[in-house]
Structure 1
């Protein structure tokens, strides 16, 4: 079955343009003109990736992404005229996997869609029986359920945050540069994305309560990268 992509944008011409390019790639395309309609489609149909505008009627893109993330893990790409660093960081913290500003190159968007879907399909294939559960110092990482618990309490992570944590935890003490983390987790060529990795690490640390407890699971090796300190 062809992957199904939802485009949520109230600018009809832009949505139609994206649809043309995605259909050329063989994708099935659904469209919504506002956030509420986008949520209804996600909840009623099988959607593999969502492209979200931010400034939409009824429900903006940020709120739509938040509500999607409560129940679904498919990749979300923000496509917006809002180009400030604050908006990009907010989108990534909310749970988006990528952020592209308007005006945009349709072929670049298609390339990013392809990259996100490759990664998503890879992590959602049936897991081998030998994938190990990681437990250390009160932290429990279950790769089969893609869940994280700290002293028995669920820690809600975005897909990217989970992938970063699991990557580091699988190789304790090994130091990964921001470039390596980006290439392994995002599955794309590194293009000045140090801030993207830093934002995800910062949010991950906050969710793990590293600002409140002495045991820091993610260690910064200054000038080099990050390692797991389990």
Structure 2
């Protein structure tokens, strides 16, 4: 039986006192696990709300407008896939999917509806927090001097404006998640280069990210679907076999 969603609770920030407070929603019917995740998030300075079923979780996302949602795949009633698909109609928050099933199909389905990352139970809460910090590092920290904005890139009917974080196809906006946009922007920033999975991971998730490199392939697949590309017709994001990906600038 589902339990009522909890109200946001505040933890003691571990960072600078002036840092803006982030909000998170944890949706998991395993109360003990949800409490552990909430505790770690609160220690990192988040305001946290929890829900034990999908409908309550969606209502919390609408109410709280969180930066992050930690979402269990195997929820009673409305499962995590349906929750993620629904919340993507009104929120661009980061979503980390939790699953007790480690097969690739669950990962592909979960990410195809807009999840940014996934973890398989049982998992280390410290690793979860490391993934969360990486996702929320926008813009990503860099030790290099600031570079001038990359001018908009036009490829046929596609226009990528990284400064405005906008993508248009045939004049219509393309609805990408934050991570999907960052993958496309990383490719657009180097239009004549082929980027390996590891290079894309460093550009989007950061050099210290730890996880499955094939996460890149799933996000690229989803970007292609939204741009109308297929495996046989790669107009905008091209695969260079054995190397990586490049933006489709011809040649």
TM-score, reference length from structure 2: 0.80
- 1:41 aligned partner: 60
Check if 1:26 corresponds to 2:33. Answer: no
Structure 1 residues 214 and 223, CA, compared in 2 at 3 Å: closer, same or farther?
Answer: closer
- Residue 131 of structure 1: how far off its partner (Å): 5.5
Partners of 1:182 and 1:190 within 8 A in 2:
yes
Partners of 2:25 and 2:70 within 8 A in 1:
yes
- Residue 158 of structure 1: how far off its partner (Å): 2.5
Check if 1:219 corresponds to 2:220. Answer: no
1:135-188 deviation per Cα after TM superposition (whole angstroms, max 9, x unaligned): 231112233553322112333322222111121112211111111101211225
Report how many residues are paired.
225
From 145, 151, 154, give the equivalent of 1:135. Answer: 154
- 2:174 aligned partner: 155
Check if 1:109 corresponds to 2:133. Answer: no
Structure 1 residues 43 and 192, CA, compared in 2 at 3 Å: closer, same or farther?
Answer: closer
- 2:111 aligned partner: 92
**RMSD of equivalent CA atoms:** 2.4
- 1:67 aligned partner: 86
Secondary structure of the 2:108 match is helix
Structure 1 residues 169 and 83, CA, compared in 2 at 3 Å: closer, same or farther?
Answer: same
Give structure 1 stretches of 5+ with no counterpart: none
TM-score, reference length from structure 1: 0.87
